[in-house]
Structure 1
Amino acid sequence: MIIVHHLNNSRSQRVLWLLEELGLDYELKRYQRDSRTMLAPPELKRVHPLGKSPVITEDNRTVAESGAIIEYLLERHGRGRLVPPAGSEGKLRYTYWLHYAEGSAMPPLLLKLVFSRIETAPMPFFAKPIARKIAQKGQKTYIDPQIRLHLDYLEDELGKNGWFAGDEFTAADIQMSFPLEAAAARIDLDGAYPRLAAFLQRIHARPAYQRALDRGGAYDLLS
């Protein structure tokens, strides 16, 4: 049995979605973030030394990292579904987006989150103006331009095909959902990025996506 160690409001939502798309049975073990620090609970370290999610276990195997989990599940249980044919142009694009999502798209979004929290973090009164100024400058001069660069790129790429790897929905679209949902939580995509906004609307309407939400619970990235 596949066991998904599911942390609320995390990348493990993508794993639930993939499992629902494949129609696989799985067991869900829930973990809740600390309401103050928003970090994962220490119990997750009993599953994997880093104590992060997503992580799955099956037949005495432990697999972590979203991309690795996706590849593992598709190789073992996919029966050729949600992956373009080997050697095709679509497979090359698929592999690219599978790695791009966490390797390139997420870092500036994470920096945005961290620097935004610096502005409101508790600290001695004399340090607040300095910290706020550093955080605002970092966002204005580097982080925000980087996010716009990536969103412009993604908007253009979605204009070439219906989905990221080509004309058909693949697991690369599942992998790309998290950075785009993270971006939508911070930026209004509807005006400047209509293709990205439409992509999110399409994936959110998929029955398997809705079933994953029902299993995984509240997902605040959507709010």
Structure 2
Amino acid sequence: MLTVHHLQNSQSERIPWLCEELEIPYDLKLYERDPILAPASLKALTPMQASPVITDEETDPDFVLSESGAIVEYIIHKYGSGRLALPPSHPDYADYLHWFHFANGNLQPAMSGLFRVAVTDVDPEHPIYNLAANAVRKVLAHVEQRVGEATWLAGDEFTAADVMNFWSLTGMRVFTPLDLSGYPNILTYMERIANRKAYKVAMEKGDRGRESCLGGPPPKVFAGLGKTYTIFL
């Protein structure tokens, strides 16, 4: 049985959501933040001490895989018959590759970088703050343009590229509380995903009761930090 070890309110939401989209069986094990990072029981699973993590007894009783991109590809090709990935023969293959890797190559690092700067109370006029804020402006502008010209990130088809990027626009905003009101195409795109049955089911199973981060105004700052701060773009 495939087991998904999911740290709640984290990018590991990609994995149960993917399983729901592919309609494959999985066991979901939930972990709460302690208070910000993963608890010791989840940290013990991998050297990086973070989620997401999967174990797969069908492959090997000792099988453990981390890194969300690797997990997504593993599940798609081992259990999903390649569904939600585009093959090299597909006309949108290059776009699929770009956006699949954009999530952890640009979007999430930019959001995380601004979070780290803001939470340390760096003056918004400081060059380091401006550098972090500019990185976020750039990635959001890129996404805004793309979802204004295409229904999904890879093109006309919903793919794993959408699964990979979405949490950075939603749950990550609890840590980097951006107001997306100035990005109408992103908001429309987020609404399309929020209405997908598989996404709703995955959120109900893994993150029930989590504050909604689907609208334009920023959500509340994550309470586990014990402080409040404002993001300036």
State TM-score, norm by structure 1.
Answer: 0.85
| CA distance in 1 between partners of 2:133 and 2:47 (Å) | 33
In structure 2, the partner of 1:151 is: 140
Aligned residue for 1:189, secondary structure, equals coil
1:65 to 64, 67, 74: 67
Q: 1:127-154 deviations in whole A, cap 9, x for unaligned?
A: xxxxx43x65146421112211111111
| CA distance in 2 between partners of 1:13 and 1:105 (Å) | 16
In structure 1, the partner of 2:6 is: 6
Share of identical aligned residues, percent? 36
Letter in 1 for 2:189: F
| CA distance in 2 between partners of 1:216 and 1:157 (Å) | 29
For residue 212 of structure 1, report the CA deviation from its aligned partner: 0.3
Does the CA-based 8 Å contact 1:43-1:51 persist in structure 2? no
* Structure 2 segments unaligned to the other structure (5+ residues): 214-218, 220-233
Letter in 2 for 1:33: R
Question: RMSD of the alignment, in Å?
Answer: 1.9
1:189 partnered with 2:180: yes
For residue 100 of structure 1, report the CA deviation from its aligned partner: 1.0
Does the CA-based 8 Å contact 1:82-1:171 persist in structure 2? yes
In structure 2, the partner of 1:56 is: 54
1:92 partnered with 2:90: no
* Structure 1 segments unaligned to the other structure (5+ residues): 120-131
For residue 221 of structure 1, report the CA deviation from its aligned partner: 6.8
2:105 to 103, 106, 117: 103
Pick the structure with greater CA Rg: 1
Does the CA-based 8 Å contact 2:117-2:132 persist in structure 1? no
| CA distance in 2 between partners of 1:77 and 1:19 (Å) | 9
Number of residue pairs aligned between Structure 1 and Structure 2: 207
1:142 partnered with 2:115: no
In structure 2, the partner of 1:180 is: 169
For residue 71 of structure 1, report the CA deviation from its aligned partner: 0.4
Does the CA-based 8 Å contact 1:9-1:220 persist in structure 2? no
For residue 87 of structure 1, report the CA deviation from its aligned partner: 2.6
| CA distance in 2 between partners of 1:58 and 1:173 (Å) | 24
1:81 partnered with 2:83: yes
For residue 8 of structure 1, report the CA deviation from its aligned partner: 1.0
Letter in 1 for 2:203: L
Q: 1:61-86 deviations in whole A, cap 9, x for unaligned?
A: 21111111110000011123212233
